[in-house]
């Protein structure tokens, strides 16, 4: 069956704006909350034009208080609304940590389903855009460690819109991480209207038989480039975009690793306690005896994200990824 779907060329940030617009029109319970998201349309323009279209009640500028408006969002979610909250940068989410950890993620459990929190928290994350300090954090693992919240992270415009809509439709809290480095770096065709990418499903970006390269978000373009360049050396990488960081798609990992027997995991977050370790655990549990080499992780260092003058050294790049690929191949 083929249905002609109208598409539009969009950047990742435009796809997010279009997803929010689609859901504001589709469900009257959807309300957007955050700092500078109204008239200003958000510091990255994710909500550009939406307050004009839907009014101040549905696209709400909040006081500058992450704990306050995430907490208020919980109260609204429990009372019939679907809040989509913008945290200006992931590095500014920490005042709301308590509200997320002690309430958003466990109200369903505390009340055995009587009260639930269908809320989305959107946050741009990551380094590589010469941003001031604390604007570059990639601390997704703090949230994947919390039971009761799902964490998603698209790498491209198509997935960004589909995952956002799926997140808003999900009955539980979702942290939706936006790779700010990729906001405007590429354009692609994005369907108009409503469609969803299933939460918990990764995507195979390139097929290959030699090494599985697993990444997500802002590291995807770099992982893809490294994989492309390895072809010159005759190494065929299979590149997987996890898209969801909790619950991770373990089947896509197991299937690929059982085929290649070699794995390189790439993320810009710190190594210790990072999601790469969860991927290693999945490989251990599902594919231990298929491995031909110990899996490699290419990650940010166990140092605070440095000032941007140093960030090119902190962030994983093609050189480090290619080095890791050669290492698992030569083991």
Partner 1 sequence: MDNQFPIQQIMDPNGIIVSPEYKEKITADLAKSFYRQLVRIRMFDRKAISLQRQGRIGTYAPFEGQEASQVGSALALQSSDWMFPTYREHGAAFVFGHSLRNILLFWNGRNEGCIPPAGKKIFPPGIPIATQIPHAAGAALAEKMKGTKNAAIAYFGDGATSEGDFHEGINFASVCKAPVVFFNQNNQYAISVPIEKQMNSKTIAQKAIAYDIPGIRIDGNDVFTVYFETLKALERARCGKGPTLIEAVTWRYGAHTTADDPAKYRDQAASKSRRMETDPILRLERWLKNEGLYDEAWVRDIEADAAEEIEEAITEMEAFPPADPADIFNHVFAEPTWQIREQKEEYLRLVGGVST
Catalytic residue IDs: 135
Residues 291 and 240 sit within 8 Å (Cβ to Cβ):
no
Minimum separation from the CB atom of position 312 to partner 1 (A) = 36
Residues 121 and 87 sit within 8 Å (Cβ to Cβ):
yes
Interface pick for partner 1 out of 79, 232, 288, 309 (rule CB under 8 A): 79
CA distance 136 to 175: 17
**Beta strand pairing status for 237-241 and 211-215?**
parallel
Binding of partner 1 by 243 (CB under 8 A): no
Binding of partner 1 by 55 (CB under 8 A): no
Q: Within a 10 A sphere around the Cβ of 110, how many other Cβ atoms?
A: 12
Interface pick for partner 1 out of 11, 38, 42, 108 (rule CB under 8 A): 108
Binding of partner 1 by 74 (CB under 8 A): yes
Give whichever of 243 and 250 is closer to partner 1, judged by the CB atom.
250
Give the binding range for partner 1 (CB under 8 A) out of 36-44, 243-251, 267-275, 293-301: 243-251
CA distances to 250, 253, 258 from 284, in Å: 11, 11, 11
Minimum separation from the CB atom of position 66 to partner 1 (A) = 8
Backbone angles phi, psi at 111, to 5 degrees: -110, 15
Minimum separation from the CB atom of position 198 to partner 1 (A) = 12
Minimum separation from the CB atom of position 262 to partner 1 (A) = 24
Interface pick for partner 1 out of 7, 9, 40, 111 (rule CB under 8 A): 111
What is the per-residue burial (b if ≥16 Cβ within 10 Å, else e) of 24-57? beeeeebbbbbbbbbeebbbbbbbbebbeebeee
Give whichever of 109 and 134 is closer to partner 1, judged by the CB atom.
109
CA distance 269 to 137: 8
Contacts of 170 (CB under 8 A, 6+ apart): 118, 120, 150, 199
Interface pick for partner 1 out of 89, 143, 246, 314 (rule CB under 8 A): 246
Binding of partner 1 by 99 (CB under 8 A): yes
Binding of partner 1 by 288 (CB under 8 A): no
DSSP assignment, residue 262?
Answer: -
Binding of partner 1 by 95 (CB under 8 A): yes
Binding of partner 1 by 254 (CB under 8 A): no
Binding of partner 1 by 80 (CB under 8 A): yes
Interface pick for partner 1 out of 34, 38, 41, 73 (rule CB under 8 A): 73
Residues 140 and 151 sit within 8 Å (Cβ to Cβ):
yes
Contacts of 242 (CB under 8 A, 6+ apart): 153, 202, 214, 215, 216, 248, 249, 279
Binding of partner 1 by 302 (CB under 8 A): no
Give whichever of 49 and 75 is closer to partner 1, judged by the CB atom.
75
Instruction: Look at residues 73, 33, 76 and name the one whose alpha carbon lies nearest to residue 56.
Output: 33
Site for partner 1 in 17-46 (CB under 8 A): 31
**Beta strand pairing status for 30-34 and 203-206?**
unpaired
Give the binding range for partner 1 (CB under 8 A) out of 37-45, 75-83, 134-142, 265-273: 75-83
Residues near partner 1 (CB under 8 A) are 31, 57, 60, 62-63, 65, 67-81, 95, 98-99, 102-103, 107-116, 147-148, 150, 171-172, 200, 246-247, 250
């Amino acid at each position: 069956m083929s249905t002609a779907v109208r598409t539009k060329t969009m950047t990742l940030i435009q796809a997010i704006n279009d997803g929010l617009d689609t859901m504001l029109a589709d469900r009257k319970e959807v309300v957007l909350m955050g700092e500078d998201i109204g008239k200003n349309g958000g510091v990255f323009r994710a909500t550009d034009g939406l307050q004009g279209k839907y009014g101040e009640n549905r696209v709400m500028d909040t006081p500058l208080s992450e704990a306050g408006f995430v907490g208020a969002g919980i109260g609204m979610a429990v009372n019939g609304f679907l809040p989509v909250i913008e945290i200006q940068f992931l590095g500014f989410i920490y005042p709301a940590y308590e509200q997320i950890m002690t309430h958003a993620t466990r109200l369903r459990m505390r009340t055995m389903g009587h009260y639930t929190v269908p809320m989305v928290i959107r946050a741009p994350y990551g380094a590589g855009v010469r941003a001031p300090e604390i604007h570059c954090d990639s601390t997704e693992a703090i949230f994947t460690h919390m039971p009761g919240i799902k964490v998603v992270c698209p790498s491209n415009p198509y997935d960004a819109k589909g995952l956002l809509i799926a997140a808003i439709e999900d009955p539980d809290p979702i942290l939706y991480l936006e790779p700010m480095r990729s906001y405007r770096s590429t354009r692609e065709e994005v369907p108009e209207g409503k469609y969803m990418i299933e939460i918990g499903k990764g995507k195979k970006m390139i097929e290959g038989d030699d090494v599985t390269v697993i990444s997500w978000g802002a590291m995807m373009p770099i992982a893809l480039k490294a994989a492309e360049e390895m072809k010159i050396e005759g190494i065929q990488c299979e590149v997987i975009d996890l898209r969801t960081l909790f619950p991770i798609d373990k089947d896509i990992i197991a299937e690929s690793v059982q085929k290649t027997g070699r794995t390189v995991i790439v993320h810009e977050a710190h190594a210790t306690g990072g999601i790469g370790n969860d991927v290693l655990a999945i490989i251990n549990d599902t594919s231990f005896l298929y491995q031909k080499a110990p899996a490699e992780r290419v990650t940010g260092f166990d140092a605070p994200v440095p000032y941007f003058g140093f960030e090119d050294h902190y962030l994983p790049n093609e050189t480090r990824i290619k080095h890791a690929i050669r290492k698992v191949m030569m083991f």
